[in-house]
Amino acid sequence: MVTAPPGSAVPRLVVAAPSSGSGKTTVATGLMAALTARGLAVSPHKVGPDYIDPGYHALATGRLGRNLDAYMCGPGLVGPLFVNGARGCDIAVVEGVMGLYDGAAGEGELASTAHVAKLLRAPVVLVVDASSQSRSVAALVHGFVSWDPEVRIGGVILNKVASDRHEALLREAMDSVGVPVLGVLRRAPRVGVPSRHLGLMPVAERGSEAVGAVAAMAAQVADGCDVEALVGLARSAGVLSCAGWDAGEVLASSPPPPLPVPSPGAAPPEPAAGPRPRPRTRPRTPDGPRRVAVAGGAAFTFSYAEHSELLAAAGAEVVVFDPLRDEELPEGTGGLVIGGGFPEVYASELSANEGLRKSVAELALSGAPVAAECAGLLYLCRELDGLPMCGVLDASARMSDRLTLGYRDAVAVSDSALAVAGTRMRGHEFHRTTVEPGAGATPAWGMRTPERRVEGFVERGVHASYLHTHWAAEPGVARRFVERCRTS
């Protein structure tokens, strides 16, 4: 019987590249699937805030894909979050983000793949797009190896190689660098994953096509890479000296700030313009778990695993529902979380589901806590590209030609179901839509970087914003949200 090592000692490696588009996702996902096919329990991870790649990782391994973000969560949480995800696994594969040394803008190495690799004491495999070079590949790899001596590049995988002759030239060049070639992958369009305005198409939207794509990636890696050598490299990782992150433990040591107390005689805020549905009575269960509905399905695929774990540890019963299919919120819902995704792609279907839109509006009008990020913000608006949405917010959303992308340093402007005014959190924006107005009478966040502005909406129990946050960085958010379920 094989006993998996503790998370702090699990063999691990980081799949990185000189730049985006080099083939990291193909190699990382294919390696995860190839190792899983060998009977290994593989722990999948992704550097940075990306939600889409972890979906492919989960398909490849049968385990939740988890993010490691040194900006949003802080460098000190990278190790503990990794150890939590790697519990009970035989090996871990971490897919990098952008180029190896690309991090948060203006913050040096912070949140780069190199930074996370050092925090994890993990060796790096560099995936190089060799399609338009031969001997120059040696100079490129030499530069990446020598740039930061603390980053250990243990091998190279040459991707998009055209022929046997091309491979021979590349291998001859690499002999002069002293970095082993651990794989050579030929050009293979069949493993490509289609993209659109915000990157790869998520697994939830592709069904059997995604399964086939992952199988093709696994076959390509198994055929073109020295998998045994990659496993050996992973076993050379150093032992981490940190304990694993645990939702229950961090909540116990992170008491939430107090709930806001309304001023005497203060009137509740007015709801958004439009029809006012009659609030539905929600059953109160003072001694049982509070049911928190979490949006899922193809339209709302963006969420971090730790959010649901924190909600459950705070005493919630987490129930996932699909706004494209379910005509009402789950019975007994006392709180609602709507994360990111692609409501703009499914606007017609979401609008046509009038029963659920009314159910969401009723819950929001009752004062129950509703946390909405990005796609969730759009869904709560009066309309999206001219199609009726939930009408919880008196705001209109539409697609835009402008991409908004980047890390943000934010502070809570006002008390809400998530945080008290003054709470500072780091997050990420990633969208090609706009909302007008961009902030309500009571904004959600004051953005400190890259420019100072207010953004989002706090109305009744609703907290809606474009900002994606990672609750592991501020675990009291989850307890405060569940406590609001009890008092609303």
Per-residue pLDDT, 201: 64
Cα radius of gyration (the chain): 23
Question: pLDDT tens for residues 229-270?
Answer: 999 999 999 999 999 999 999 999 876 555 544 433 334 334
Alpha-carbon gap, residue 384 to 420, rounded angstroms: 30
Residue 341 has pLDDT above 50, yes or no: yes
Query: Of these residues, 374, 381, 390, 485, which one is catalytic?
Result: 374
Work out the pLDDT band at 401, boundaries 50, 70, 90. confident
Question: pLDDT tens for residues 10-65?
Answer: 999 999 999 999 999 999 999 999 999 999 999 999 999 988 899 999 999 999 99
Per-residue pLDDT, 200: 62
Alpha-carbon gap, residue 334 to 116, rounded angstroms: 38
Whether 7-235 and 247-259+285-487 share one fold: the answer is: yes
* Residue 225 annotated as catalytic: no
| Domain 7-235 -> CATH class | alpha beta
Residue 274 has pLDDT above 60, yes or no: no
Dihedral of the alpha carbons of 140, 141, 146, 148, in degrees to the nearest 10: 100
| Domain map (residue ranges) of the chain | 7-235, 247-259+285-487
**Which helix (H) or strand (E) segment is 285 a member of?**
none
Residue 138 has pLDDT above 50, yes or no: yes
Per-residue pLDDT, 268: 39
Residue 1 has pLDDT above 50, yes or no: no
Residue 208 has pLDDT above 90, yes or no: no
**For residues 269-273, average pLDDT:** 41
Question: pLDDT tens for residues 275-306?
Answer: 344 444 344 444 556 899 999 999 998 889 99
**Which helix (H) or strand (E) segment is 120 a member of?**
helix 113-120
**For residues 308-321, average pLDDT:** 97
DSSP 416-477: -SS--TT-EEEEEEEEEEEEESSB-SS-SEEEEESS-EEEBEEETTEEEES-EE-GGGSTHH
Average pLDDT of every residue of the chain: 90
Residue 430 has pLDDT above 60, yes or no: yes
Question: Which stretches of 162-283 are assigned E, i.e. beta strand?
Answer: 181-186, 195-196, 199-200
Residue 271 has pLDDT above 50, yes or no: no
Question: pLDDT tens for residues 436-478?
Answer: 999 999 999 999 877 789 999 999 999 999 999 999 999 999 9
Annotation: CATH topology of 247-259+285-487: Rossmann fold (3.40.50)
Give yes or no for a contact between 374 and 340, defined as CB atoms under 8 angstroms apart: yes
Alpha-carbon gap, residue 466 to 376, rounded angstroms: 8
**How much is the pTM?**
0.90
